[in-house]
Structure formats: C-alpha cells, structure tokens
Chain A
Amino acid sequence: MIKYNSKREGTHYLNPYLGGVLMGLLMIVTIFISGRELGISGAVKDTVVETAHAISPAAAKAHPYYGMYIKDGQSPMHSWLVFEVLGVFIGALLSGIIYKRVRKPFVEHGPSISSKRRLVVALIGGILWGFGTRLGRGCTSGAALSGSSTFSFGGVMVMLLIFASAYLFAWLFRKLWT
C-alpha cells in the first residue's frame, strides 16, 4: 500500500509533462526575447564576485578569477542571470504558497538518515556543485537544460555526464535516499 506523508497529505504537483511543455515554451520565449537561455549558477558566481569586491575591491580586481568579472562602473550583480534568479525565488515562493508547501524551516531527509547527516551532505553537495558548475560552464539549468535545447555539444555532453555520474555513484549513496 502506498501512503502519502501524513503531514502534507496529498501534496499536489503539476503534471510533469505539462510542466515540461510549459518550461520548453518558456525557454523558446527566453531565446526569442533575449537571445540566450536561462541559467542559475552564473548568478551565484556573480554574487560571489560581488562579495569579494565588497570585502576588498583592490584585491578582487587583481584576482585572476574575480578580476575577469569586475568591470568599472557596473556591479557584477547587474547581470541577466541575477535578475532571472531573483524571479526564480519569487516564482517558486508563489508556487509554494498556492500548493501549500511553504513551511516553517525544517530539514527534509531520507528515511535512513538523520537531519544532521542530511545537513552535512547537503553542504558537501553544494560545495561540489559550486566547484563543478564553474568547470562545466553551467549547471543543470544553464548547461544541461538550456545547452541541450539549443543543440550545444557541450550542453548535451554536460547533461549526459551529470546524470551518468550520479547514476554511477547512486548505489554508493543509497542510504541517503532510500
């Protein structure tokens, strides 16, 4: 017998195929208007650059990595992705409200691990993604999803590798999820 989580009995999600169609249409609109596709990790990078710049403007400008993204007279946060990500937060919040999924802060974790363990692995996962997105020139949204949709060879390659890699390591980390 399959039981729903009693706390959020029957939490409703959009039909995934409908979600996919709408997302695909959104991506077409994005390209039609902006000539680029959506992404996420670049905005995080912009925020890190801005933080470095705020802490020490001279050192950041001279830094081999941060310096590439610091232009005179314009904040790194003045970027398409940062504005897009702002929208992502708002849109997700609205969806969470409509579907009644907004809750007081809590830790969601698999049945076999503790909240503490979950927080530790979430941090590790985040660090890996932070590093990985820089190497991969994007994340699942920017490189995999958007890249593939625009027929980018690198995009498809990164998409395949992300999923192949995760499948490869899945058995090793099964206790985190099952």
Chain B
Amino acid sequence: MGPLFPNGLISGDWNLVIAVFIGFGFGFLLEASGFSSSRNLAGVFYGYNFVVLRVFFTAVIVAMVGLLYFNYFGWLDLSKIFILPTFLPSMIVGGVVMGLGFIIGGFCPGTSFTAIVIGKLDALVFAVGLFIGIFLFAEVFPYIEHFYYSGNLGHVTLTDVTGISAYWWAFGFTVIALSAFWASWLIEKKVRKRIKEYKF
C-alpha cells in the first residue's frame, strides 16, 4: 500500500498539500519541545539541557521501529522510499562544517525558522546567513564540483555497508538511546546545580 505517492495512490498536488500539514506538525513539535531557543539547543554540548538528545534520539528510534513494523506487515514497501545517498568526502566535510555552525550559531536551519516566528532576531540573522552560505557555495561550486560528487556510494543503507540487518540497527540504536537518556539525566543534575537559569 505505502508509500502512497510513489505508488501512484495520491497525486503530486495532494502530496504538496500534505507536505504543508506535515511541516505544520514538525514545526509545532519543534517549537513546543523548546527547539526555538538557541540556548536550549546549545545546552546539549555543555550539559545543562539535553532536550536535543531526548527528542532527536526518541524520534529516530520510534521512526526506525515504526518503519520496520510497517514493512513487516506489508503496509510499506521500504524499497520505494528515498534513502539519502552517501558521498563520502563531501558529506564528512559538510558534517564538520555544520557542527561548527551549530556551536557558533546555536541553530540549525529548521530550528531557526521556529525561533523566527516567536520573535528572535538572532534567528532571523541566522537565516540570512543560510542564504549567504548557499550563495557562497554556488559561487565556489565550479571549483569543488569534482570533490562534491566524489566518493559516491549510492543510496546505501547501514545494512548495505555493514551487512548487519536493520532490525539489529534499530535495536542497537534503542539501547544506545536509553543509555544516553540515563547518562544525560545524571549529567544534567550535576551541571544544573552550578547554574541559576536553564529554561529560556
């Protein structure tokens, strides 16, 4: 049955309308969870606020397990879904650059948008930076095009690369997530003793 759009069960136009509703849910959950504050987001790197870890990891394991369930029951054909491709060198550099941007700017693109609508000027400036960054990328693109497309492993999954089944990965992620939740609870207790304010 699923995925509906690739299987032709809903039209392209409806897919776009549904996209708005999905974005609505995503934006709501992000802001409601506190991702609209750069100080909350940066907290995971200094031990005073682990909201990023808790929401992110929970979402990943729920989605992983859910997708496997849907696939197992035949409701969803996992071979028809989009898997992010892997371009080894450029994505490694991209990850490092984004991490640096995270610790300096305190936002990622999506969270900055949720912060803009609640009035944060730093988020607006961050978003302007996004435009500039993409523009700069486009300008240097001719010089880095070869690097950008190098190391193309294709749309590989963890299973393709490691041979370990998705079920084990989902299980492994869940174990790591639960350990991380417990560890972060301990760290947070210690760090928050030292600070006066941790909810912004």
Task: Write the residues of chain A forming the contact surface with B, with a CB cutoff of 8 angstroms.
Answer: 1-5, 8, 10-11, 13-14, 16-17, 19-38, 40-41, 44-45, 47-48, 51-52, 63-66, 78, 80-81, 83-96, 98-99, 101-111, 118-119, 121-170, 172-174, 176-178
Q: Specify which chain B residues have a CB less than 8 angstroms from the CB of A8 in the assembled complex.
A: 200
Q: Which of B30, B81, B119, B153 contacts A103 (CB 8 A)?
A: B119
Q: Specify which chain B residues have a CB less than 8 angstroms from the CB of A91 in the assembled complex.
A: 23-31
Q: Which of B76, B97, B200 contacts A132 (CB 8 A)?
A: B97
A88 & B133 in contact (Cβ 8 Å cutoff):
no
What separation, in Å, do the CA atoms of A103 and B36 have in the docked complex? 12
Distance in angstroms from A54 CB to nearest chain B CB is: 13
Q: How would you classify the secondary structure of chain B's contact residues: helix, strand, loop or mixed?
A: helix
Sort A-B residue pairs by CB-CB distance and give the 8 closest, nearest first.
Answer: A125-B105, A130-B133, A126-B129, A165-B99, A20-B58, A87-B23, A24-B62, A161-B95
B121 & A157 in contact (Cβ 8 Å cutoff):
no
On chain B, the number of residues with a Cβ less than 8 Å from chain A's Cβ atoms is 134
Task: Write the residues of chain B forming the contact surface with A, with a CB cutoff of 8 angstroms.
Answer: 2-7, 10, 15-34, 36-39, 42-43, 45-46, 48, 50-51, 54-64, 66-67, 70, 75-76, 80-87, 90-138, 141-142, 145, 148, 153, 155-161, 166, 169, 173, 181, 192, 195-200
What separation, in Å, do the CA atoms of A33 and B27 have in the docked complex? 18
Q: A83-B19, A86-B20, A177-B39 are in contact. Are A122 and B126 (CB under 8 A)?
A: yes
